[in-house]
């Protein structure tokens, strides 16, 4: 099954006999919480999911958005109505990063059918989709996480993969090169990593470019089918979006959830700067 779905196809599925469950994962780094935006208008039947509280653990040595406690994540997903036998579609305000984090976590935890609404809320409204302000209280779900369905990297694993395979850095190029670092204590990148900004995978409206184009782009970066590929970013959110783009292109990839926020917190870990892999 494709990892993304268009607004028009989602409308068709919602009108069918077995509509998917909708998760609203609106989130903005450093911005206001997403719940007020959800309450102001969301896809009918969608349930709000809080990225900071339900899709990540507390910030600390493991990074700004480490894996959530499995019991917390499981309880949140069951409250949202997630069931093993019901398809799930996640969406956000349009950037796609937060929805991709929900997609990755659910897939990693064993859910068989999760997709992201390509273009998010904006694509839905542009297609003429209605919005609702009614609170959604779905029946309790039965989802039980079974981690390991998607590959996961820790810091040592990311370093090793950068040497034997292809480790993609999903952050903006200037952060990779170490020219600026607005968030973390050290600027630069993991030695051996390849710069691959995730925003280059989408149109200005936030919709994924065609799978053929993505496959060509990743192939030029060395990340082709048959190559071991990993991805990191600042804190494991935009990197999930890159893993999603790779899935659209047909290339499986591992996610380093701790990402640069974990890597740079340890002064013993090496740092490379400049345009080269290092």
- 3-class state of residue 12 by DSSP: helix
Using CA atoms, how far apart are residues 142 and 113, in angstroms rounded to an integer?
A: 15
- Catalytic: 233? yes
Using CA atoms, how far apart are residues 233 and 201, in angstroms rounded to an integer?
A: 14
Using CA atoms, how far apart are residues 129 and 81, in angstroms rounded to an integer?
A: 22
For residue 163, what are the contacts with CB-CB under 8 A and spacing of at least 6?
192
Residue from 233, 246, 251, 265 carrying the catalytic annotation: 233
Supply 211's token pair. 């799978």
- DSSP-assigned beta bridge partners for residue 169: 195, 232
For residue 208, what are the contacts with CB-CB under 8 A and spacing of at least 6?
4, 96, 118, 201, 202, 214, 245, 248
Using CA atoms, how far apart are residues 102 and 114, in angstroms rounded to an integer?
A: 9
Residues with a catalytic annotation lie at: 233
């Amino acid at each position: 099954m494709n990892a993304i779905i268009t607004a028009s196809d989602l409308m068709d599925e919602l009108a069918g006999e077995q509509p998917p469950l909708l998760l609203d994962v609106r989130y903005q780094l450093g911005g206001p919480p997403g719940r007020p935006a959800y309450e102001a208008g969301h896809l009918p039947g969608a349930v709000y999911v809080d990225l900071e509280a339900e899709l990540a653990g507390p910030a600390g040595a493991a990074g700004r958005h480490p894996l959530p406690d499995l019991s917390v994540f499981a309880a949140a997903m069951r409250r949202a109505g997630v069931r093993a036998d019901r398809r799930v579609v996640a969406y956000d305000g349009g950037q796609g990063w937060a929805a991709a984090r929900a997609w990755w976590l659910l897939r990693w935890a064993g859910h068989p059918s999760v997709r992201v609404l390509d273009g998010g809320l904006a694509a839905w409204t542009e297609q003429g989709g209605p919005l609702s302000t009614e609170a959604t209280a779905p029946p309790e779900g039965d989802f039980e996480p079974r981690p390991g369905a998607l590959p996961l990297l820790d810091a040592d694993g990311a370093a090793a993969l950068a040497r034997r395979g292809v480790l993609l850095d999903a952050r903006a190029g200037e952060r990779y090169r170490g020219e600026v670092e607005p968030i973390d204590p050290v600027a630069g990148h993991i030695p051996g990593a390849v710069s691959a900004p995730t925003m280059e995978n989408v149109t200005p409206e936030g919709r994924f470019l065609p799978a053929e184009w993505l496959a060509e782009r990743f192939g030029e970066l060395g990340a082709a089918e048959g190559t071991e590929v990993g991805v990191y970013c600042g804190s494991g959110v935009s990197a999930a979006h890159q893993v999603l783009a790779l899935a659209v292109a047909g290339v499986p990839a591992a996610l380093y959830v701790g990402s640069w926020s974990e890597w740079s917190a340890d002064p013993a870990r090496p740092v490379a700067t400049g345009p080269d892999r290092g």
